[in-house]
Homo-oligomer: A and B are copies of this chain.
Amino acid sequence: MRIALLGGTGDIGQGLALRWAYDTNHEVIIGSRDPEKARTKAEEYETELDSRGVDRSINGFENAMAADRANVVVLAVPPYHVSDTVESIADRLDDETTLVSPAVGMKSDESGLHYHKPGAGSVTAVAAEAAPEDVPVVGAFHNLSADRLANLDVQFDVDTLVVGDDADAKETVAALAEGIDGLRALDAGPIENAAEVESVTPLVINIARYNDGMHDVGVKFS
A120 located at the interface, meaning its Cβ lies under 8 Å from any Cβ of chain B in the complex: no
Please tell me the number of chain A residues within 8 Å of chain B, measured between CB atoms: 36
A202 located at the interface, meaning its Cβ lies under 8 Å from any Cβ of chain B in the complex: yes
Complex contacts, A197 vs chain B, CB 8 Å: 203
CB of A71, distance to nearest CB on chain B (Å): 24
How many chain copies?
2
Interface string of A189-220 (1 = CB under 8 A from B): 11011011101101110110111001001111
Q: Are B210 and A221 in contact (CB under 8 A)?
A: no
Q: Which of B188, B189, B199 lies in contact with A196, CB distance below 8 A?
A: B199
Q: Are B218 and A218 in contact (CB under 8 A)?
A: no
A162's nearest neighbour on chain B, judged by CB, is B210
Complex contacts, A111 vs chain B, CB 8 Å: 189-190, 192-193
Q: Are A196 and B203 in contact (CB under 8 A)?
A: yes
> Which residues of chain A (153-194) have a CB below 8 Å from chain B?
157-158, 161, 186-190, 192-193
Complex contacts, A109 vs chain B, CB 8 Å: 192
> Which residues of chain A (98-132) have a CB below 8 Å from chain B?
109, 111-115
Q: Are A188 and B210 in contact (CB under 8 A)?
A: yes
Q: Are B217 and A222 in contact (CB under 8 A)?
A: yes
Complex contacts, A204 vs chain B, CB 8 Å: 221
CB of A46, distance to nearest CB on chain B (Å): 31
Q: Are B112 and A195 in contact (CB under 8 A)?
A: no
Complex contacts, A211 vs chain B, CB 8 Å: 186-187
- Nearest 5 A-B pairs (CB), nearest first? A111-B192, A196-B203, A187-B210, A199-B199, A111-B190
- Which residues of A are in contact with B by a Cβ distance under 8 Å? 109, 111-115, 157-158, 161, 186-190, 192-193, 195-197, 199-200, 202-204, 206-207, 209-211, 214, 217-222
